[in-house]
């Protein structure tokens, strides 16, 4: 359910971009997905393929996904470590005082598109 | 084909819509709360009690968001409060656009405070701003004191946490101090009320907060 919602928000943003830039067709969209963003990429791709054929601007739009690794920072020993492997507890000093530096993103990085003049 | 670099968050356009709605509500002096929690945590029961207790003090309306059905809206209507049922058609959260449409459909003449009863889950509603003045979340005691560890974003985006079903505390091994410590670590500024909508324990503090915040919002409407 979550994935489909995000797809509709991506489409809404792309509609806005298309209008601003007079785009007639979007060939691909590249998204950056954090490792702990909670997005299941297989399911996300299914949602995209379901949605895009129902949306004229995106009919032939390919979705490319790039993963952003999740990294946690420890406030006590001030070291960084991979979140997926060690979770919330710092593997160096066993502290619980940690926070996520990156890895929960869901960003639209770039698109490939054609505008009216080119067609 | 040309490449256009965007580098923007998927939620950015929703955040903009939410900010705009928030500003409009400020100009109208209408206090709007986004109430979030897991399914079965007792959102409707808490709201029913709050509406009944405050019926001479605040005119409250409720927007019920559900994937299907209108049982919650009927419960609120039975109390004589204005309510509307919004169906999200499978979506797991309300966004600013849906919220705006819901508000436009409601008869808000003379209303001081509107609650949005968001879809019951602790994940998606936290990611999508609705334009609300305050985000309020419920954690009921039967759900367990480990929820801040599992759903940190919900606790981070909330202004107020209501720990509810206090009357059931003796049946569950819910460590209240531990839970509050976990929540405060994620969000040092969060207001916490521990209540039972059934016995009324702790409800006054929550209701006083609502009265004060609604008043402040109204008085600052031109600010």
Tokens for A38? 């909670």
Q: Give the per-residue pLDDT at B221.
A: 65
Calpha distance B3→B9 (Å, rounded):
18
Please indicate whether, in this complex, the C-beta atoms of A5 and B93 are within 8 angstroms of each other. yes
Instruction: Give me the residue spans of the domains in chain A.
Output: 2-68+103-114
Q: Residue written as tokens 């406030």?
A: A75
B140 shares contact with chain A (CB less than 8 Å):
no
Tokens for B78? 């039975």
Class of the domain covering B15-219: alpha beta
CATH code that applies to domain A2-68+103-114: 3.30.2320.50
pLDDT in tens, B116-129: 999 888 888 888 89
Q: Which residues of B103-115 are buried (b: 16+ CB within 10 A; e: fewer)?
A: beebebeebbbbb
Q: Give the per-residue pLDDT at B104.
A: 93
Please indicate whether, in this complex, the C-beta atoms of B8 and A13 are within 8 angstroms of each other. yes
pLDDT in tens, A64-95: 999 999 999 999 999 999 999 999 899 999 99
Please indicate whether, in this complex, the C-beta atoms of A9 and B8 are within 8 angstroms of each other. no
Residue B168 CB coordination number (10 Å):
14
Mean pLDDT of B106-123: 92
φ/ψ of B88, rounded to 5, equals -90, 0
Nearest residue, CB atoms, B3 vs list A6, A96, A112: A112
Instruction: Give the nearest chain A residue to B122 (CA atoms).
Output: A2
Q: Give the per-residue pLDDT at A119.
A: 47
What is the model's pTM? 0.86
Calpha distance B138→B38 (Å, rounded):
8
């Amino acid at each position: 359910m979550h994935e489909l919602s995000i797809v509709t928000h991506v489409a809404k943003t792309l509609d806005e971009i298309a209008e601003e830039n007079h785009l007639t067709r979007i060939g691909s969209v590249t998204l950056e997905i954090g490792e702990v963003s909670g997005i299941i990429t297989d399911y996300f791709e299914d949602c995209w393929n379901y949605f895009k054929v129902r949306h004229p601007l995106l009919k032939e739009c390919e979705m490319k996904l790039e993963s952003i690794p999740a990294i946690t920072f420890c406030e006590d020993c001030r070291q960084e470590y991979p979140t997926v492997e060690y979770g919330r507890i710092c593997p160096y000093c066993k502290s619980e005082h940690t926070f996520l530096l990156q890895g929960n993103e869901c960003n639209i990085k770039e698109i490939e598109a054609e505008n009216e003049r080119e067609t | 084909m040309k490449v256009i670099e965007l580098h923007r968050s998927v939620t950015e356009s929703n955040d903009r819509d939410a900010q705009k709605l928030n500003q409009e509500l400020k100009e109208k002096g209408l206090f709007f709360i986004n109430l979030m929690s897991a399914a079965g945590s007792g959102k409707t029961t808490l709201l029913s009690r709050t509406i009944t207790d405050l019926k001479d003090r605040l005119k409250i309306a409720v927007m019920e968001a559900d994937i299907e059905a209108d049982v919650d809206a009927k419960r609120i209507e039975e109390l004589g409060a204005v309510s509307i049922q919004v169906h999200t058609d499978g979506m797991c959260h309300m966004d600013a656009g849906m919220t705006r449409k819901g508000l436009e459909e409601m008869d808000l003449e003379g209303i001081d405070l509107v609650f949005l009863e968001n879809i019951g889950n602790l994940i998606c509603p936290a990611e999508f701003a609705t334009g609300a003045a305050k985000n309020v979340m419920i954690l009921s005691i039967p759900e367990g004191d480990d929820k801040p560890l599992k759903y940190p974003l919900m606790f981070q985006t909330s202004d107020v946490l209501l720990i509810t079903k206090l009357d059931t505390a003796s049946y569950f091994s819910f460590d209240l101090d531990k839970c509050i410590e976990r929540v405060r670590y994620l969000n040092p500024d969060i207001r916490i009320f521990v209540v039972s909508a059934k016995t009324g324990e702790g409800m006054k503090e929550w209701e006083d907060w609502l009265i004060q915040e609604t008043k402040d919002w109204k008085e600052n409407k031109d600010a």
